[in-house]
Each structure stands twice: as C-alpha cells, then as structure tokens.
Amino acid sequence: MKNKASFLPREGEAQPSRCPDNTAFKQQRLPAWKPQLTIASVLSIFFLTGAFCLTVGICLVLSANSVREIQVDYSDKCSDCSKLRENSSNWNKECHCSANFTLKEDILGDVFMYYGLQNFYQNHRRYVISRSDAQLLGRNVNIQRSYCAPFSAYRNGTPMAPCGAIANSMFNDTIDLFYSHNSSVIQVPLLKTGNSWWTDKNVKFRNPESYNLSSAFAGTARPPYWQKPVYLLDEEDERNNGYVNDDFIVWMRVSAFATFRNLYRRLRRVQRFAEGLPAGNYTFRISYNFPVTRFKGRKHVILSTVVWSGGRNPFLGIAYLVSGTAATLTGFVITGIHLKLRKKQTYFQEQ
C-alpha cells in the first residue's frame, strides 16, 4: 500500500491549474449583442404589441360572432325517457323522444352537429387514467394489470372490450334530424365518419388482427353500460366498427371542463341540402339511452357552422383584446412617468 504522502506534489513542482483555458469561448469573450433599452424602443415595443393584439382580437371576436349556431336542450323534453333510464333494469327497453325547432334563415355551408353535456366531470384523475392504450391499439394484453379496474373484467373472468371507466360511460344517444317541407318529412343526411382526428383514427386506435371483427373480439364482453358489443357499434358500415369507430374515438378524448360538446355528425351536402340547411321546421328524434339525472346534468344538441378561426368561442379573441389593452395602457403609463421625470430633471438643471 502506497503512502499518502506519495500523492502530494513534491516541493518545487508546479501544481496543475484548475482555471479554464484562456480561450474566447471559456473566458466569455465572444462577441455578443446586448440590447440597449431606450425610452423610444421600450415604448415602441409596448405600443406595437398592443396594436397587434388588439387587431387580432377584434378579428377573432368578429369571426366568432359570425358563426351560425342553434342549440336545443332536450333534457326536459325527454323527461319520461330519463326516468326510465334511471332504473338499470330497463337497459334493454327502447325509449324515443323528439325536440322541435325552426330555422328562420338558411344556414349555408358546412353544418356540424354536436352533442353537449353539462355537469359531467371527465377531469377526475382516476377517470382519466381508466383506460388501456395498449388494448386500444389492438394488442393482446393483460388488462388486469392496467388502470381499467373496476371496469376491466367480469366476475367470471371475461375481460371487457374496451375496458375502463371512460369507455363504459360512452355517450350512446342516437340523434336523427328531420326536415318538414310541404307536409312531407325528409330525413336530413348526416355523415358518421370523418369526425375524429386523423392521428387518432390512424395511429392511436387499431382493431385486433383477424379475418373478421366478431372473431377478433372473441372471448371478450361489452362494458356493463353498453347495449351492443364493440364490433357492432355501426351496423351500417363495417369499417366504422370496433376501436376505430368515430363516435367511440371522439368520446375517448376527455374534456377538461364539466360542460363540453363533442362532434357527433356532419351534414352531407346532397340534393335539397347541397347548399346547407334551408329555413323551415326541423325535428330532432332521439333514442334516449344516456341518463344524466343522477349527476344533475343536462343534454343538448347543437347545429353550428365553422369559420377560419373555428367554432363559436370568443375566449381567444377576448384574451387578445385584454392583452392588447394592457400593453397599450402600460405604454401610456410609461410615457407619463417619463415626461414627468424629464420635466423635473429640466427644472433642477435650470435651478
């Protein structure tokens, strides 16, 4: 074993320096630009920022106000169906109701149908994580180890497909729109597909690989609150079934607020509705399945157009207006303080 004294520098030997190398980079001598804040530059920044935000905010507010929107609350109009659905033993009984409204003017262009829920909280931590992303990708996974509990499997061990509280609580009212014209009733053509994000439809959701969907989901069972298995969500379009069903994908993107709306259908612009929705009397015919009384919620259906800035939501425009007003007022305050100090400085110089 070496002596500790052998590690110490000998007398007369130079100790290694710990200082950084004498280079421009390590000694921080590289050329740099340092802004020189003058009163002119500061005021220019505040006033230009205020003018920009005010201009953008006015454009956004005007754009949001130009959106045509019809909202119909059918919670009270379907009160009988709501009472029926509160009893879980009536899950297999059908109940239909209707809600009438009138369009005084034509709604031209693309028209979107949304369903809205009020007082339905999707932002609870355990609710948000109650899903299996691996299962939704079509993989064969053990969902007992996922966060889907208690909606992961039945008592006999049969796994649920899809599992989790989000999927189990999926909105399942069926809403159809009818147009009354010259004593005849015409069903408005609506599109069920193309309502989800491309990344969700093609990246995040996949069906298990098999020669048909019924065999792909063999050995699984539907969630308790569902009326049909996942491979029969759309009996008219085989490609819109399973985990890639548009209604299911839209629902799985949870909302941050208790009151929200989700895209449900889009107007198919053909024949009489090629230009949009004509003025007249309309009826929503609803197959009521989603109970809301227990959590004191309400349901409504919305018909809306969209503009370049999106739907009818003035929040972003108001935020820009507030920011622009604050920046402009700050510029005026700084200007006032500068003029006051300069006047005082001039006075003392004259004295």
pLDDT of residue 311: 84
- pLDDT averaged over consecutive 10-residue blocks of the chain (351 residues)? 55 70 85 84 94 96 92 92 82 88 92 96 93 92 84 91 94 95 91 93 91 89 91 91 95 94 95 92 94 91 90 91 96 92 70 60
* Burial readout 239-273 (b: 16 or more C-beta within 10 A, e: otherwise): ebbbbbbbbbbbbbeeeeeeebbebbbbbebeeeb
pLDDT of residue 98: 94
pLDDT of residue 347: 58
Asked if 207 and 150 touch (Cβ cutoff 8 Å), the reply is no
The residues with which 276 forms a beta bridge, in sequence order, are 108
Give the H or E element holding residue 57: helix 39-65
| Phi-psi domain of 109 (left: phi exceeds 0; alpha: psi -120 through 50; beta: other) | left
Asked if 220 and 158 touch (Cβ cutoff 8 Å), the reply is yes
The whole-angstrom distance between residue 247's C-alpha and the CA centroid of its chain comes to 14
pTM as predicted: 0.81
Domains of the chain, residue spans: 69-309
Q: Roughly how many angstroms between the first and final C-alpha of the chain, as a whole number? A: 83
pLDDT of residue 308: 86
